[in-house]
Structure formats: structure tokens, C-alpha cells
Amino acid sequence: MGQQIVLGSVVGVVVGFVCWRGNQTLQGVSTFPDAFTFVTLAVLLTVAVRLLLRRLQSPGRSASLQVGMRVAAVAGTVFGSTVVLLGLLRFTNPAPVLLAFGFFTALGSALLCGVGAAVLPLHSGRERAA
């Protein structure tokens, strides 16, 4: 479980940095200022989940989803916190509702990508066996 938290934190920090860089040219704050941020999130979560699932002997659907959701929840929390921090630093009087929206958009997107990353290896393994 410690590896899942560490990998999720690393993914969240990297995606948060990409988001931060993408927001430098904008006048506002966006969770996904460009497509590169979302693609980075999806690719890094997929790689992290696949690395962790390789260590399991026979990852079933339940174990795969647990790993994917745990990594994605940590990554989304770190990424969402980065978006909130950016909003707090960028605006003199930020609206709490907009900060919450940015946080939950980042968290929800990470969770959706985590589910996809957890289910994708199961389907690719079945195709190889056939």
C-alpha cells in the first residue's frame, strides 16, 4: 500500500506541475489549461497502475480496481491541492466555490482515469491469452 501512495503522490505532483505551467499564460486558473495536462494524467496513472499490477500474482478485477482507485485518489488529491494553491496565489480574493470546483474536477478526473487504468490491463491480458 505504501508504494501505491508514493506512486500516486508522484503522479499528482507531476500533473500539478504540468497544470501550473499551463496556467502561466492564462488570466484565470483552469484545472486542465491544455490537453497535455489531461493526457499526462491519463498516461501516468496507467503506467503507475500497470507497474503495481505486475507485482501481483493474479490481479483480479477487485484487486485491480482497488489498486487503481487508491493510486488515483492520492494523485487526484495532490493534483487538486495544487489547483487550489494556484488559485489562492493567483487571486487576491478567490471564491471558495471555484476553488472547490477546481479541486473536485481534478479529483474526479483522476478517479475516472484510475478506473480506466485499472480495467485496461484486464482486457489486454485476456486478448493476449486468446
CA 70 to chain centre: 10
Q: Give the pLDDT confidence score for residue 127 in this predicted structure.
A: 45
* Average pLDDT per 10 consecutive residues for the chain, totaling 130 residues: 91 95 87 93 93 78 88 96 94 92 96 90 51
Q: Is the pTM of this model over 0.85?
A: yes
Res 129: pLDDT: 46
The pLDDT of residue 61: 83
Within 10 A of 45 (CB to CB), how many other CB atoms are there? Answer: 30
Three-state SS for 71-112 is HHHHHHHHHHHHHHHHHHHHCCCCCHHHHHHHHHHHHHHHHH
C-alpha angle with apex 30: 107 to 73, nearest 5 degrees? 10
